[in-house]
Structure 1
Amino acid sequence: MSVQKTTPLLRSERDLCYNFRDLYFSCLEKAGIEDPTKVEEDKVLRKKAETFGCLKKNDQYKRACPSSWVKYFNKKVILEKQRQAILDQINAEKQAT
């Protein structure tokens, strides 16, 4: 469960949150999992994440970060990947012309 804190996080707490977020997303990347929001619902992805040790990292991430941050970071990583795919497609089309 994510941190439910009403006061702003201290710098050290934010740094801890960012570190656990980065470890979790790095683990998902190594596991070949694109969407962190689907790990909870998809049994195959969950098993894959478990094999790579990502579930433990997810628990640490959710404990260190406020729930609103977890939602934001999870959506942000998906949007960044979609954005990069679009940019890659545009660049490929430019190269072809």
Structure 2
Amino acid sequence: MIIPIQKEQIPNEFEIRLAGELFTFEVHYNAEYDFFTVDLYKSGDVLVLGEKVVYDSPLFDTYSDERFPGVTITPLDRADNEDRVTYSNLGNTVFLYVSDDDG
């Protein structure tokens, strides 16, 4: 599964079902330094604000709280041509891939 990001609508807030649970993502873009961040909410509660989207680094990986999604979300370019997430490549060559934590 790929999480779609609507760059043209940033800041973009949307709901998504992950591992059977509903979460709210809010995506922001820092134009000065060309990077994205994600805020994550569950049932209206803030789980994290400003998680930087880093190439090949799973989002929310440093949190062990059971309220977080039971999946791994990793920004990747399947062709392995990119080494960072930028405005020009997110949604074109780099996507947020969701994989089940159970394998």
Which protein is bigger by CA-based radius of gyration?
1
What TM-score, normalized by structure 2, do the two folds share?
0.25
What TM-score, normalized by structure 1, do the two folds share?
0.26
- Asked which structure has the greater RCO (Cα within 8 Å, sep 6+), the reply is 1
